[in-house]
Chain A
Amino acid sequence: MTRTSQLGSSPERSDAPAKTSGALRYTDDRVRPGTLHAAVLYSPHAHADIGRIDCAAALAFPGVRGAFTGADWPDVLIGLYMGDKPPLARGRVRYYGEPVAVVVADDEAAALEALRLIRADFTPLPALGSPREALAPGAPILHPDLGSYRRIAAILPEPGSNVANRSRIRKGDADAALASSPVVVEGEFSFPPGDHAAMEPRVAIAEFGLDGRLTVGSSTQSPFGVRTLLSKALGLPERDIEVIAAPVGGGFGGKAGIQLEPLACLLAMRFPGRPVRLANTREADMVSSPGRPGLQSRVRVGATREGMIQAMDMELLFDSGAYADYAVNVSRAAAVACTGPYNVPNVKADTLCVYTNHPFATAFRGFGHIELSYATERALDLLAARLGMDPLELRLKNAARPGHTTPTGATLDPNTGDLPACIARVRERLDWDAGRRAVLPDGRIRAKGIACFWKAPAIPTFTDAAATLSFAEDGSAVLATGVVELGQGSFDGLRLIVAEALGMDLAMVRVLRDADTDRSPHDWTTAASRSLFMAGRAALEAVADAVAQIKRVASAPLRCPEEDLEVSGGRVFLRDDPEQGLPLSTVVLGYVYPNGNAIGGPVIGRGRYIARGLSGMDPDTGEGRPGLEWTMGAEGVEVELDPRDGGFRVTKAACAMDVGRLIHPALARGQVVGAMGMGIGYATREAFVFDSRQGVQNGSLRDYKLLRYGEEPEYFADFVETPQGDGPYGARGLGEQGIIGMPGAIAQAASLAAGVELNELPLTPEHLWRAMREARS
């Protein structure tokens, strides 16, 4: 029996019927009758002392069951790596949109109407509008208690300042290398914070059962993480908490960590036996729940006249907003990869997570790599200009290869992707050598840009995944993992891996949809593009375990040693005499002899994986091995600029990435193309606009603009396959990477078109028009 491999084919997604028929139920599609609805009062100030909050009128409104303020939970602090955030503001609000009070009522309309009856007094304070302002001497200290917050050891806050984390890289001697470099360039690059804007707003529905157990349905990427953090925040043991993650309507990092769950649970504990639903409006989802960080940066690069990079000295200041959340680790991850995918022998970098009075920031697709990439790629553009060198050649020359070391001193092993091959593909796709800049007959200017990226998951050293494989009467297999479906299609990748390993028809393999901490095997978090890699490894082990069990059972009725058996095509059979065998359906739940005797019992395959050989970073030099596998690639764009009014669009976007092994090409392309589209939005329009007191002026989809149909460029997505030795069938992560190089590539192309270096985002038409006008005068 021979089967052709299905790996590398693109079967229809298994969730297509559910998602195209409306049958799929997301978290907010599972509201039970009798549910209470919470509505939140958000701070109208970015920084203010809270005076009196009067809820009396709200409490008297028909249908209202309760109204609460920060004073109701005087001791609770929540945080992912550092507990710095109260569930409702206490004493002080630190950002525009911070939750101040909450009303719980029988229905949502009543809760919302009652909310309008709450009277809250504020005394505004001066608001910090950027990391540099927050680091200036005399700046107000937003977290006076920074020194006493509960935190993990890898995070290094500086109490008495607004620095929530500082990660340091000291590799070689950057100062000396810069002093002796014949060519040195320096630049400052920045952009404001923005939002993930996943189409599903966040929601949590919590019930504190009359049996004392807490159940939370949440639109989360990390059910197990939420369980752990809830346990810490609420003082309930993990065994009494169940977190259920239905498929999520887009995450992009914004639903990792812990979000609405603590407040929903605290409220539920006030109303035992009744579920409490806390659902974000779109506006709250954008401004009150976390977004992505902003950046201010300074980069110096020293190189030889031939363009070999000698050293980088850089400072990346992440605007984390009012609370640290994931951003402390984002800034740490940026340190690990700070140079971008280039061989830089001497590095000095400080990456800081800084508190400001902006909406707080969390993980975002790319996890610190868009930021570092934008800064380093822009600096390389300055270098290329100074050297008079093609920016592509400069990158090719310095591309990181196996044997080189990363900023933390880890050696790139032979598993490392082939960056030069990726650059070559982009070069071809954009017809790079035909010229980088042209003036069209109608006066518009067409220009090209290129950037490279790398990323390794910034994960705890003990990051894990697990899987179980069980079977039904028909011999079909069911894989259970703790992975959450966010749209990335992990389940279809896992399904292909299991089908391949079992030699089974794809239709006979299912992957369980909901992740449920009571039922699913443990899984760190669905983030960092690691699900296919880690859960894939666990799935392979589960298959191997199940196959061994199947052979053991079948060896008795087939009267042969287990070693002579093979499992494939839905059968277990003798390798040398395939006619002799049994259908799996007669074995997987136990084999029954003709006389009624039975052996075996249900087969359950068990698999697990834990990150291999990771270590922490030295606090002074950054030395260590914090990154698992490195995914590398190159991206390029072609843009068109109208010099008269700054009208601007990206017409082509190309990405070539070394993914190790393509498991499901259509899914991979979808991830890359979607990420590029998001990157175009990031570079050209997406950012919060703040007023002079740091209030958000564009906190709705009416004002915060996302890419629409017809605005997308022509996409090219190419894959290079240098196998990842320890990846499932050689695969490595690819979900986030496609966004990383886009801002840099677009800024390069726009700068070339405009004839002026553009060092700030977003590149709106007005921004371009202004820069061109200033350059002329």
Chain B
Amino acid sequence: MEILTKPRVVVGLGSCGIAAGAAKTYDRLSAIKAAGIIDFELSKTSCVGMCYKEPLVEIHDERGWVMYGDMTEDRIQEILNRHIVQKETIEEFAVSTKSLNGSEDAFFEGQVRIALRNCGHIDPESLEQAEKHEAYQAIRSILTTKKSSADVIQTVLDSGLRGRGGGGFPTGLKWRFAAQSEGDEKYIICNADEGDPGAFMDRSLLEGDPHAVLEGMMIGGYSIGASTGVIYCRAEYPLAIKRLNIAIAQAKAKGYLGENVFGQSDFSFDIYVKEGAGAFVCGEETALIASIEGQRGMPRKRPPFPALSGLWQKPTNINNVETWANIPWIINHGAAAYAAYGTEKSKGTKVFALTGKILHGGLVEVPMGITINEIIFKLGGGIQNGKKFKAVQLGGPSGGCIPAELGNTPVDYDSVNATGAIMGSGGMVVMDESTCMIDLAKFFLHFTQDESCGKCTFCRIGTKRMLEILERITEGKGEPDDIQKLETLAYQIKNNSLCGLGQTAPNPVLTTLKYFRHEYEAHIFDKKCPAKVCKPLLHYSIDAEKCTGCTVCAKKCPVDAINGDRKQTHIINQAICIQCGECYTVCKFEAVMVD
């Protein structure tokens, strides 16, 4: 432990923290510090994953450290006074403490942080701090002990690490193919396109610990014999791009990147960042390569796999951000230490992004094999507003919905696949009883249909036809054979598409059909939406007992469908009603009923 000469205040400045107001809190702290009345050291870090409590501020002093949540700019002065000057701990806002009373928030209990080891703990813009936390130790030891590339690959193989970008292909095996490919010029690519809407672990890693990703790529480069690395990062992540570029410049200045790294070795490696231009399909490896080359990001047939012919037709190894971030830890701590976590076929840990109707939304890293229920209820704190857990969507647009009944499914590649969903990148969107599963399936299909590159007929037109059917169903115009049609189309698309986008696009429909068929039937046959989401299927009426005749609904109705005199029961004219729900929202007496 380092010795503190004065209290240190650390603000979490990840994109999510900043969106919640952390930059303003930081500015306020700078002003307080400049005023000189309270003496403390001010620094910044990135996101620890506890997004639901942002902005987060940690205070370290001789008593230990406390992490405070909801630290908006208007609150920080008081907290500082009470904590630093009056030596109090403000229980009300303390979300996690250490050495004070030893209690850790349940959110961190049960987590094993390997990929996220430094996220939220170091200043991501300081190489010095990163180096205090093992940065560049792994590559340095490989180079100084002259460990052979075959040995490094063997270590990665033994760790059991599988690609975290979705496919789950054994990373060591992929490296071996690329290492065995002939060629004097080879490339390493980091896939930071993170297209799954609802997943943000890659962003958080890049913003929180960019050096870990750079070092992972260097080790990969050494192993396969590449001297150039490209990070393909989506343009929607400006802070990640900025911090990556800072980290690259720092590493170059110190001679960790460039010609003969560390000044002596005969290994040279350079990394640059390529900004994506907004296309989900560019997460697919061959499309990503086409995009780096400046073309439309259309996938191509494999083989040849990138290991044989990738970027500029040279052997290329492409891995996901989280995969890369695990590598230095595996080298430093050994394959066995990594493989000690997880299940037989899914080793190690996985980062999940908890979002949707969950109480504690954020990022968690857990050993593979713990159950969905453990993640949602133990770490995630359960469902918002005391509602009922209905389903969780895993794997984004390529994945599927796992119903609450299967909450005991362990999260490992094979168990998740068996449900019809996929592990994907680790986005977990939690849904409660107010989510309509048909609406959700329609949402995903709209997304994939929009993002299809258009090369394959079934992916381009088949998804459009499926979307049209779903639109009809949610408008109350479903026909008895629609379910049959959806299933036929789904299998045709799966079997006749070139890339993963088309092959998996029907998954959300197939899994909701499998687990929530009754909801489809309610929409089609009874013309009802059980979750009360699909507006055209809703029926609004006014409860005569509760209506006070206040006239608010009649005034708000955009189509004048509500009649009634002041202090008289109001009535909705169903022939005119457009089911906008305005009356339901504005009624203070809960007199508007919807079914």
Whether chains A and B associate is no
**A residues engaging B (CB < 8 A)?**
none
**B residues engaging A (CB < 8 A)?**
none
